A and B are shown apart, each in its own frame.
Chain A
Amino acid sequence: MSKRSKVARKSQFNKNGYFFCAPYMILFATFILAPVIIAVILSFTNFNTIQFPSFVGLLNYINLITSDDVFMKYVLPNTVKYALIVGVGGYVLSFLLAWALANMTKVPRTIFALVLYSPSMTTGVAMTVLWKIMFTGDQTGYINSWLMDIGVINEPIIWLVNANYLLPIVILIGLWSSMGVGFLSILAGLLNVDESLYEAAAIDGVKNRFQEMIYITIPSMKPQMLFAAVMTIVGAFQNGTISSLLAGNPTPGYAAQLIVNHIEDYGFIRYEMGYAAAVSVVLLLIVQVFSTISKKLFGDD
């Protein structure tokens, strides 16, 4: 959209652009871009953080595919499951909730949006405590106590050690905190759609709210839809660290081992930074695939 637009007098070349960008870009290059490049370079090396990294070519990647059983058997399937439910599912849920909220009056909308967004404010340290208390493994745990009260279970379940429950719990927490920035962006986009478009569409034969959503609403808020898609998927992957905060790293039986935990495992526990960097690059590529799909769906062309 903006690529073809022109600002009359200065449509060709405006060096002021560099001045406006410089402060941000210098800091960006120093603290984000350079580390990312270094990480990519490290992925081709063997680096134990003490000795100077030694070049090993594609060895890290080859090992990842051919001899990392944990990765192939647990990490990858878990990650795919998690990404589909929390990433894609969370995105659809964000949209539906935002759409429902946009069709409500202002006061309830504001309150509901606040509540739905609140888990995203608490990422990081704060909420681990909460879930640890909730999912305490004996009868003093809240979840156990409630489930025993209503007779669903007879004995307390040791939630955070039991391989059967760990991934579902992590997915649940992921979904709980998936109404983040993307959700807000969609809500804002919905409220900003030009109202005259709806009137015009009704004249052109749009018959109900569903058609309106498909033909008018979504196409006219593509920037927000795309942004939300990227944020939801990145958020989903980043929230994956909750696994190791809840159940340690590696998680019991690798039950909730996600790709971010695998990176932590190799990077900060085994100090195999080269290998960890290779896994990070794979993660980057996976996220890239999701975002390419989103771009196909919501991109300008």
Chain B
Amino acid sequence: MAAYKGHRMNPDKFEKSQIKLYLFVVPLVLITGLPIVFIFFHAFKPMEELFAFPPKFITTNPTLDNFRKLFKASRSAGIPLSKYVFNSLLITVSVVFSSLAMSTAAAYALSKLKFKGRDAMFMINQLALMFVAVAVMIPRYLIVEKLGLIDTYWAMILPLIPLPVALFLLKQFVDQVPDSLIEAAYMDGASDFHVYIKIILPLIKPAIATAAILVFQQVWTNLEASNYYINDDSLKSLAFYMNTLTSTTTTNTVAGQGISAAASLIMFVPNLVLFCILQKHVMNTMAHSGIK
């Protein structure tokens, strides 16, 4: 019998030995995916199918009725849907870009530069990772208020920029960039800033992509800012508006279920699309990048 040769992760082609992996994974994938598929079907169900008994999983006559009702509801509320969309886009883009710039810079410093208090900073960030957000809502509000940010876009942007998870993740990845690369750059006369831009950033692309997804999800679905920091309805986010649709009496009626499902879908799809784009990038860079 041939000796065991060791196998490779990420195989190039399908082999029989992978069948048992599929037997384990596929059922779990189906169970996980069905509820998501259900939301898609439900959002496109016409009234009579929402009321159908016994309830049907699959939509036979898809319709945009639920989405139409959703848009109508926003028109009757006084503030056009486009305003909420604009607010959410502005906030999301600002937060994602500032957050990535600041966290990658901090991750680089915490991992590769020596200075007093570095380890303390990282420890504190790590502790914050474990704090459950519900508990800090009130103190957070007090601070936002003291800074005079209430009813400004700043209140929706600044508090969301520091994401301990993102920094933690980025720092873990920067740790794996070999010091020899950086030393070589120093030998060539590169500055710290140069090292950050030319060496660190390209090598941690996978982590940046992952951090981008995390920050995006955090901002896109954030309700805290709209609920607590903003009184002016015209400054609130799309997530807030969608939540008013799903949380009020509508969910209790069968007709409301369709609208809620449509709203859920609108909030979910951008996440899905972004993840599809970046996940490909994550997987590719992960498998072939030089981080060892």
**Taking beta carbons and an 8 Å cutoff, which residues of A are in contact with B?**
1-3, 5-21, 23-25, 27-28, 30-36, 38-39, 42, 49, 93, 96-97, 100-106, 108-110, 112-119, 121-134, 139-142, 145, 149, 176, 179, 181, 184-185, 188, 190-195, 198-202, 206-209, 212, 223-224, 227, 230-231, 234, 237-238, 241, 260, 263-264, 267, 273, 276-277, 280, 283-284, 287-288, 291
Contact = CB atoms under 8 A, between A and B. Distances in A.
Contacts of B148: none
11 contacts: A25-B106, A28-B125, A38-B136, A97-B28, A112-B26, A118-B275, A121-B275, A130-B38, A199-B6, A201-B6, A212-B7
Given A25-B106, A129-B246, A198 B6 contact: yes
Across chains A and B, which 9 residue pairs bring their CB atoms closest together, nearest first? Answer: A280-B135, A202-B6, A17-B115, A20-B109, A38-B139, A198-B6, A35-B139, A17-B113, A121-B271
Given A32-B128, A260-B134, 20 more contacts: A7-B113, A9-B186, A14-B115, A17-B109, A28-B162, A30-B158, A110-B279, A110-B283, A117-B275, A125-B243, A125-B246, A127-B35, A128-B246, A140-B55, A176-B32, A209-B7, A234-B130, A263-B134, A283-B132, A291-B130
A249 B14 CA distance: 50
B268 to A, nearest CB: 5
B289 to A, nearest CB: 8
B78 interface: no
Given A12-B114, A110-B280, A227-B169, A284 B6 contact: no
A103 B105 contact: no
Given A24-B103, A32-B162, A199-B6, A188 B206 contact: yes
A86 B249 CA distance: 31
A224 B39 CA distance: 32
Contacts of A284: 130-132, 135
Contacts of A234: 129-130, 132
Nearest to A279: B135
Contacts, number: 340
A6 B182 CA distance: 10
A20 B192 contact: yes
Nearest to B167: A24
A6 B186 CA distance: 12
Contact of B55 (A28, A38, A108, A145): A145
A36 B143 CA distance: 11
Question: Does more than half of chain A's interface fall in helix, strand or loop, or is it mixed?
Answer: helix
Contacts of A115: 29, 32-33, 36
Contact of B272 (A112, A121, A264): A121
B183 to A, nearest CB: 5
Contacts of B113: 7, 10, 14, 16-17, 20
Contacts of A30: 143, 147, 158
B77 interface: no
B56 to A, nearest CB: 9
Interface string B219-248: 001010000000000000001001100110
A105 B275 contact: no
Given A123-B221, A202-B6, A263 B132 contact: yes
A145 B54 contact: yes
A123 to B, nearest CB: 7
B264 A126 contact: yes
A35, A108, A123 interface centre (most CB from chain B within 10 Å): A35
Contacts of B26: 112
A7 B183 contact: yes
A230 B130 contact: yes
Interface string B107-125: 0111111111011010011
B22 to A, nearest CB: 8
B9, B119, B128 interface centre (most CB from chain A within 10 Å): B9
Contact of B169 (A14, A24, A130, A185): A185
A181 B129 CA distance: 13
A32 to B, nearest CB: 5
A129 B32 contact: no
Nearest to B23: A100
Contacts of B143: 30-31, 34-35, 38
Nearest to B254: A140
